[in-house]
């Protein structure tokens, strides 16, 4: 089961976890390029790791995203340089729509982490040894519950403090204060937006 703050502020993400092992997993593996042609993100949740999950005949292949024991996982555990490659927003969109609400890894490609932030997905880091322990813990017991405290930079497992995690202060602040969602921020300040728009020379025909 996934528990995510219902408002724009994201301070805690809780749920079970799923490990995907491997360094330098790029965005083309996360979401194959042919799915970038879709005009909306509505079906992106069907496609993460598609070519690694299905053979040419559409039959299931062994992969954590296909494994029933990880069904409903909210937290993804990854290794180094996750999300490298092309800067496609479809990659975090696919993970989000599959059900992933936070990613814990050794390191992330900067653009991928930025795209995740714009969707409200915390990407936090921890040393490789700690990540390996977490992966083995989940592989041995997929039912164990985790709680990522973004504000405190702590990852709890089974009610105990598991590890300290790191996240850039700018990203942490945007998540916990709720301004990661630029659309929500604009809507909440609509009167100010209208006044600024009306004052711009190239918006001379704009009516507030």
Entry pTM: 0.86
The reported pLDDT for the residue numbered 182 is 63
Walking along the chain (208 residues) 10 residues at a time, the average pLDDT comes out as 58 97 97 89 94 95 97 98 93 97 98 96 97 96 96 89 91 93 59 63 62
The reported pLDDT for the residue numbered 162 is 77
Domain spans of the chain, in order of start: 3-168, 178-208
Nearest by Cα to 134 from 34, 36, 21: 21
The reported pLDDT for the residue numbered 201 is 72
The reported pLDDT for the residue numbered 38 is 84
Q: Which residue has the tokens 């590890």?
A: 163
The reported pLDDT for the residue numbered 6 is 42
Q: Class of 3-168 per CATH?
A: alpha beta
């Amino acid at each position: 089961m996934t528990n995510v703050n219902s408002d724009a502020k994201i301070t805690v993400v809780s749920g079970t976890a799923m490990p995907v092992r491997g360094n330098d997993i790029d965005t083309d593996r996360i979401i194959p390029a042919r799915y970038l042609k879709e005009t909306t993100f509505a079906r992106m949740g069907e496609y993460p790791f598609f070519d690694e999950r299905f053979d040419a005949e559409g039959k299931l292949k062994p992969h954590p995203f296909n494994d029933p024991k990880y069904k409903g996982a909210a937290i993804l555990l990854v290794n180094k340089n996750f999300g490298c490659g092309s800067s496609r927003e479809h990659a975090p969109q696919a993970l989000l729509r599959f059900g992933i609400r936070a990613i814990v890894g050794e390191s992330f490609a900067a653009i991928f982490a930025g795209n995740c932030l714009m969707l409200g997905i915390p990407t936090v880091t921890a040393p490789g040894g700690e990540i390996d322990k977490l992966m083995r813990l989940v592989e041995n017991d997929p039912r164990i519950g985790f709680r990522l405290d973004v504000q405190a930079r702590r990852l709890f497992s089974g009610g105990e403090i598991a590890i300290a995690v790191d996240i850039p202060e700018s990203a942490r602040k945007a998540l916990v204060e709720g301004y990661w969602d630029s659309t929500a921020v604009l809507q909440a300040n609509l009167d100010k937006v209208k006044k600024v728009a009306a004052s711009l020379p190239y918006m001379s025909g704009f009516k507030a």
